[in-house]
């Protein structure tokens, strides 16, 4: 039993799902669902269809070259079952998967950092331009003026007191 990869979207094809198409030149194509199959029949290029993994990798939106990705490779010579090897492999798989996920997440985060900076700039310009929608320009000024006047008067009075 194997989990195959869909030719179009590179998603997993579990046993009992999807379709396989064999062409006259003996190349076989597996599809995970009719969406991918229909797109294939329409002769669409998966590298140009934005929602597929192939597009994401080809346009640099996801991590492509990394050592953690080299572990999973289709091997054509089956190995005889040996409990020790299988145990070790399963453990290694789990650890590799962790590391792979971390690295992929880091890659995407780095890509999105620029966007965060732009957001900041935008907020600042927005506030500068349109503050008048939420705050009247002299909103608190009346009170401030009053407070100032009171202070001034107080000072005058003090000065007058001093003179005396």
Partner 1 sequence: MSLYNFKKIMVVPTAKDFIDITLSKTQRKTPTVVHKHYQIHRIRHFYMRKVKFTQQSYHDRLSQILTDFPKLDDIHPFYADLMNVLYDKDHYKLALGQINIAKNLIDNVAKDYVRLMKYGDSLYRCKQLKRAALGRMCTIVKRQKSSLEYLEQVRQHLSRLPSIDPNTRTLLLCGYPNVGKSSFINKVTRADVDVQPYAFTTKSLFVGHMDYRYLRWQVVDTPGILDHPLENRNTIEMQAITALAHLRAAVLYVMDVSEQCGHNLQQQLDLFNSIRPLFANKPLIIVANKCDVKMIAELSEEDQKIFADLTAEGIIVIETSTLTEEGVMKVKTEACDRLLVHRVDNKMKGKKVHDVLNRLHLAMPAKRDEKDRPPFIPEGALTRKKTMDVDEPKRKTERDLEIEMGDDYILDLQKYWDLMNEEEKTDIVPEVWEGHNIADYIDPEIMKKLELLEQEEELKEKAGEYDSDEESEDEEMQEIRVLAKQIREKKQLLVATSKEKDIHGPRMPRTTTKVERAKLEKEMGGLGLDMTDKDDSHYAQNARRSRSVTKKRKRDVSVVPTSKTRSQSASRPPRDQSGLRDATMVKKAKIMMKIGQRDMIRQGKKGEGDRHIYDLKPKHLFSGKRTNGTNDRR
List interacting residues with partner 1 (CB under 8 A): 1-3, 12, 67-68, 70-75, 78-83, 85-86, 88-90, 92-97, 99, 102, 106, 113, 120, 122-124, 126-127, 130-131, 133-136, 138-140, 142-143
Q: Are 61 and 36 in contact (CB under 8 A)?
A: no
Whose tokens are 């289709």? That residue is 74
Please state the closest distance from residue 77 (CB atom) to partner 1, in A.
10
Nearer to partner 1, 67 or 154 (CB): 67
Nearer to partner 1, 26 or 133 (CB): 133
Tell me how far apart the 2 most distant CA atoms of the chain are, in Å: 114
Q: How far is CA 13 from CA 1, 31, 39, 53, 104, in A?
A: 11, 7, 16, 14, 22
Nearer to partner 1, 19 or 96 (CB): 96
Nearer to partner 1, 43 or 83 (CB): 83
* Both tokens assigned to 1: 């039993």
Please state the closest distance from residue 111 (CB atom) to partner 1, in A.
13
Please state the closest distance from residue 160 (CB atom) to partner 1, in A.
31
Q: How far is CA 73 from CA 67, 68, 76, 135, in A?
A: 12, 11, 10, 61
């Amino acid at each position: 039993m194997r989990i195959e990869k869909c030719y179009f979207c590179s998603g997993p094809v579990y046993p009992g799902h999807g379709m396989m198409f064999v062409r006259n030149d003996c190349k076989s194509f597996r599809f995970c669902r009719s969406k991918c199959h229909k797109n294939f029949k329409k002769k669409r290029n998966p590298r140009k269809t934005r929602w597929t993994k192939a597009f994401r990798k080809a346009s640099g939106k996801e991590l492509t070259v990394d050592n953690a990705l080299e572990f999973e490779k289709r091997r054509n010579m089956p190995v005889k079952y040996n409990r020790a090897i299988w145990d070790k492999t399963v453990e290694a798989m789990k650890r590799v998967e962790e590391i792979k996920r971390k690295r992929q997440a880091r890659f995407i985060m780095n890509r999105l950092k620029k966007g965060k900076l732009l957001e900041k700039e935008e907020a600042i310009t927005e506030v500068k331009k349109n503050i008048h929608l939420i705050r009247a320009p002299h909103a608190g000024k009346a009170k401030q003026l009053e407070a100032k006047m009171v202070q001034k008067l107080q000072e005058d009075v003090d000065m007058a007191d001093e003179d005396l």
